[in-house]
Copies of this chain bind each other. A is one copy, B any other.
Amino acid sequence: MNDQEPNVLLGYQSQRLQDLIEEILHCCKERTSHLSKKFDIPEAELRCLMLFGEERYLTAKGISQKLDVVKSRVTKIINGLIHKNLVESIDDPKDGRIKLIGLTPQGQRRSKEFSAIMTDLHQKLLLEFEPEQRKMVISCLEVLRSSMEAVKNQMVSGFDLYRI
């Protein structure tokens, strides 16, 4: 009895968790595509624009790693941004292979606008909670993220059990 009950609960909870994650994912996706349309910039280019925090220049390779896409994809993204006059590419004076990608003044403006909106959005999100709750939500997400990492590693190593 004390053996059956927890399993039922666990099953129920995991289903609930799955649904919740899916809903949150969907909400984030909507938000991203909404902003992309408002800004009239493709999502990937917007994401790229956000990488220049205080950095003066980034390289294609660095962008590729930060965005977690292959280099050829970065070429396309950068070309799009250059075309929109949001970034410019100059040759590295020390190494002819490397191109340094930097924000144009216009790009900096865009980038700041966008990050202001994102910050505002997440502040609004926090304000939906009581002040005491906020810390808890964040630490919850922190644990959730670590757990996801952990489970991912479990999966990647032991996934072959599920291979058909």
B151 touches A119 (CB 8 A): no
The stretch of A87-95, A97-105, A140-148 that contacts the partner chain = A140-148
Number of copies: 2
A13 touches B143 (CB 8 A): no
Most chain B beta carbons < 10 A, residue from A14, A20, A145: A14
Q: Is the C-beta of A138 less than 8 angstroms from some C-beta in chain B? A: yes
Place the interface of chain A in its size category.
35 or more
Chain A 62-83 per-residue mask, 1 if CB under 8 angstroms from chain B, else 0 = 0000001000000000000000
A 134-159 contacts with B by CB, 8 A: 134-138, 140-152, 154-156, 159
**Cβ-closest chain B residue relative to A149:** B27
The complex places the Cα of A151 from the Cα of B129 at a distance, in Å, of 12
Which residues does chain B contribute within 8 Å of A10, judged by CB atoms? 123, 126-127
The complex places the Cα of A53 from the Cα of B11 at a distance, in Å, of 16
B38 touches A152 (CB 8 A): no
The complex places the Cα of A137 from the Cα of B138 at a distance, in Å, of 11
Q: How far is the CB of A162 from chain B (nearest CB, A)?
A: 6
Which residues does chain B contribute within 8 Å of A117, judged by CB atoms? 162
The complex places the Cα of A26 from the Cα of B69 at a distance, in Å, of 12
Which residues does chain B contribute within 8 Å of A141, judged by CB atoms? 17, 20-21, 24, 140, 144
Q: Please, could you name 7 A-B residue pairs with CB atoms under 8 Å apart, sorted by A?
A: A14-B123, A16-B138, A21-B122, A25-B28, A27-B145, A38-B162, A128-B151
